[in-house]
Amino acid sequence: MSNKNYEVAVIGGGIVGCAVAYYVAESGLDCILIEKNDVASGTSSRCDGNVTIVDKDPGFDSHMSLVSQELIEDLHQKLDIPFEYRKHGSILVCDNDDEMQAAVDWVKTQSEAGLKFNVLDQKDIRNESPFFAEDIPGGLECETDSLINPYLFCYSLIEKAKKSFGLEVKTFAEVTNITKDTDFTIETSNGNVTAKKVVNAAGVWAPFIGKMLDIDIPIVPRKGHILVGSRQQPVMMRNVMEFGYLMNKFGRERVADKRTAEHGVALVLEPTESQNFLLGSSRQFVGYDASIDIQVVQTIARRALRFYPKMDDFKMIRAYTGFRPFTEDHLPIVSEVEEIPGYYIAAGHEGDGISLATGTGKLMEEIINEKSKTIIPREPLRFDRFEKTKVLS
Ligand SMILES: Cc1cc2nc3c(=O)[nH]c(=O)nc-3n(C[C@H](O)[C@H](O)[C@H](O)COP(=O)(O)OP(=O)(O)OC[C@H]3O[C@@H](n4cnc5c(N)ncnc54)[C@H](O)[C@@H]3O)c2cc1C
């Protein structure tokens, strides 16, 4: 065991843990990041890279996303390793006239909240991509949305924090137990670490880390499948979702065929910087089973053809799955834990962790440093908003 006693130990080297470690180290605290595998080996490398407001509920959710977008833009200037940042805005497409009406209302609500949303008509959609179906009635765009490569972003954050702020990173060190005396002792498969403060940023595995100090954390995995298209003709430049994605995400009623509804499938198409494209996605509560379900893959492909029928001969090269850290109210936990002074949680970002990681990291730094003014309000993200004894099954 090293004799060093860190001020802060962050457990989990996904996008959330990396962002927390970056801002904590930048604030001058002696910080170590502990990860059981390699950096970004969990959900943060098994997802898309959309940094969006387009799919957020108006209000606190949108505000936290906007603040996070501004922080990413700032990091785009500051970090040394480029992370494929592209700020082209993103679009939502509608399947039918009812959705189109809902989209017009959505734009109105978001615009009233000061966000940069615009309605797109049928012609606008055709101008976006020659591959779109002729009968898409329209959609909407959010101008501030961007795309990143989440995997590169994690490395970019920690490389800068190591070089400029003295962050230490301990990979291939699985946390197996935590005890608390005056300070915390964190036992890992690669030696022990002691620290005055601990941040549990272990994504869908945060409940297991919580259990080590008898804390019930109400996060469950919500599995998603993604298909990867090979590089062929450029499809389009910006991220596309269908309006039904919002319905799935928030569990609202949606008209869809049996398979689409059962697999929670809605179109998401993300063009990567190299012009591969990622096609998704599904939403299922099936525990921690990461296997690929070919039926879900087929449902995703079929749904994509509704919006892109001219892509029916495009080659797909592989598929992967990831686990969204789901909470019941769709907001993450970014909070101290009152019962255990010095213990914090930054987890539960469901399908929004890429969008919200920077806001989370900055807020956690401010909480740890006991700043009275924070970048976003802390209240909606407090851990004690959940009944302490209740854990979702
Ligand atoms: C299909 C799919 C598409 C998505 N698309 C988007 C998107 O476009 N935009 C968006 O904003 N969000 C998206 N998300 C959500 C986003 O990917 C997650 O919210 C985010 O990656 C969660 O990051 P995290 O750091 O909390 O968790 P993780 O990335 O899972 O990091 C947690 C880390 O903790 C480590 N760990 C676990 N147990 C231990 C232990 N005992 N000891 C040490 N380390 C441990 C793990 O190895 C892991 O690396 C998507 C998710 C999925 C599944």
Ligand 1 pocket residue status of 210, Cβ below 6 Å: no
Mean pLDDT of 295-299: 97
On whether the CB atoms of residues 297 and 227 are closer than 8 A, the answer is: yes
- The CATH number of 90-143+220-326 is 3.30.9.10
The per-residue pLDDT for range 119-165, each reduced to its tens digit, is: 999 999 999 999 999 999 999 999 999 999 999 999 999 999 999 99
Residue 251 vs residue 315, higher pLDDT = 315
The residue to mutate among 44, 84, 270, having the most atoms of ligand 1 within 8 angstroms of its beta carbon, is: 44
Give, using CA atoms, the residue closest to atom 3 of ligand 1. 47
DSSP 209: H
* Residues above pLDDT 70, as percent of the chain: 96
Which runs of E-coded beta strand occur in 59-202?
90-93, 117-121, 138-142, 146-147, 168-170, 175-180, 184-188, 191-200
The per-residue pLDDT for 251 is 67
Least confident of 167-171, 250-254, 255-259, 373-377: 250-254
For residue 50, the ligand 1 atom closest to its alpha carbon is 8
Rg over alpha carbons for the chain, rounded to the nearest Å, is 21
pLDDT band at 261 (very low <50, low <70, confident <90, very high): confident
The per-residue pLDDT for 246 is 77
Q: For residue 202, how far is its CA from the centre of ligand 1 (angstroms)? A: 8
Ligand 1 pocket residue status of 353, Cβ below 6 Å: yes
Distance of CA 75 to the CA centre of its chain: 17
pLDDT band at 232 (very low <50, low <70, confident <90, very high): confident
Tell me the whole-structure pTM to 2 decimals: 0.96
Query: Mean pLDDT score of the chain, rounded to an integer?
Result: 94
Q: For residue 312, how far is its CA from the centre of ligand 1 (angstroms)? A: 31
Give, using CA atoms, the residue closest to atom 33 of ligand 1. 12
Q: How many CA atoms lie within 13 A of 381 on its CB side?
A: 26
pLDDT over 70 at 388, yes or no: no
The residue to mutate among 15, 16, 20, 43, having the most atoms of ligand 1 within 8 angstroms of its beta carbon, is: 43
The residue to mutate among 22, 47, 91, 144, having the most atoms of ligand 1 within 8 angstroms of its beta carbon, is: 47
The per-residue pLDDT for 348 is 98
pLDDT band at 296 (very low <50, low <70, confident <90, very high): very high
The per-residue pLDDT for range 6-42, each reduced to its tens digit, is: 999 999 999 999 999 999 999 999 999 999 999 999 9
Residue 388 vs residue 167, higher pLDDT = 167
The per-residue pLDDT for 256 is 79
The per-residue pLDDT for range 82-133, each reduced to its tens digit, is: 999 999 999 999 999 988 998 999 999 999 989 999 999 999 999 999 999 9
On whether the CB atoms of residues 225 and 296 are closer than 8 A, the answer is: yes
Beta bridge partners, 358, equal none
Domain 5-46+150-218+329-385 has CATH 3.40.50.300: no
pLDDT band at 58 (very low <50, low <70, confident <90, very high): confident
Location of each CATH 3.30.9.10 domain in the chain: 90-143+220-326
Cβ partners under 8 Å of residue 77, min gap 6: none
Q: What is the C-alpha to C-alpha distance for residues 121 and 239, in angstroms, rounded to an integer?
A: 17
Ligand 1 pocket residue status of 36, Cβ below 6 Å: yes
Q: For residue 347, how far is its CA from the centre of ligand 1 (angstroms)? A: 9
Work out the widest C-alpha separation in the chain, in whole angstroms.
66
Ligand 1 pocket residue status of 12, Cβ below 6 Å: yes
Nearest to 146 by CA among 56, 237, 213, 235: 237
Give, using CA atoms, the residue closest to atom 6 of ligand 1. 48
pLDDT band at 391 (very low <50, low <70, confident <90, very high): very low
Ligand 1 pocket residue status of 355, Cβ below 6 Å: yes
On whether the CB atoms of residues 158 and 166 are closer than 8 A, the answer is: no
The per-residue pLDDT for 146 is 97
- DSSP-assigned states of every residue in 210-274: HHTTT-----EEEEEEEEEEPS-S---SSEEEETHHHHHHTT------HHHHHTT---EEEE-TT
For residue 222, the ligand 1 atom closest to its alpha carbon is 53
Give, using CA atoms, the residue closest to atom 21 of ligand 1. 44
* Cα 141-320-174 angle, rounded to 5 deg: 110
* Residues above pLDDT 90, as percent of the chain: 85
Q: What is the C-alpha to C-alpha distance for residues 356 and 273, in angstroms, rounded to an integer?
A: 21
pLDDT over 80 at 393, yes or no: no
Ligand 1 pocket residue status of 174, Cβ below 6 Å: yes
Mean pLDDT of 309-318: 93
Residue 248 vs residue 179, higher pLDDT = 179
Element (H, E) at 323: strand 316-326
The per-residue pLDDT for 160 is 98
The per-residue pLDDT for 254 is 72
> How long, in residues, is the chain?
393
Ligand 1 pocket residue status of 170, Cβ below 6 Å: no
Q: What is the C-alpha to C-alpha distance for residues 10 and 168, in angstroms, rounded to an integer?
A: 10
The per-residue pLDDT for 2 is 61
Q: What is the C-alpha to C-alpha distance for residues 339 and 141, in angstroms, rounded to an integer?
A: 44
pLDDT over 60 at 390, yes or no: no
Q: For residue 203, how far is its CA from the centre of ligand 1 (angstroms)? A: 5
Q: For residue 350, how far is its CA from the centre of ligand 1 (angstroms)? A: 8
Q: At what angle do helices 353-368 and 60-78 cross, to 10 degrees?
A: 90
End-to-end CA distance of the chain: 37
Q: What is the C-alpha to C-alpha distance for residues 277 and 158, in angstroms, rounded to an integer?
A: 27
Cβ partners under 8 Å of residue 45, min gap 6: 150, 151, 322
On whether the CB atoms of residues 52 and 142 are closer than 8 A, the answer is: yes
Location of each CATH 3.50.50.60 domain in the chain: 5-46+150-218+329-385
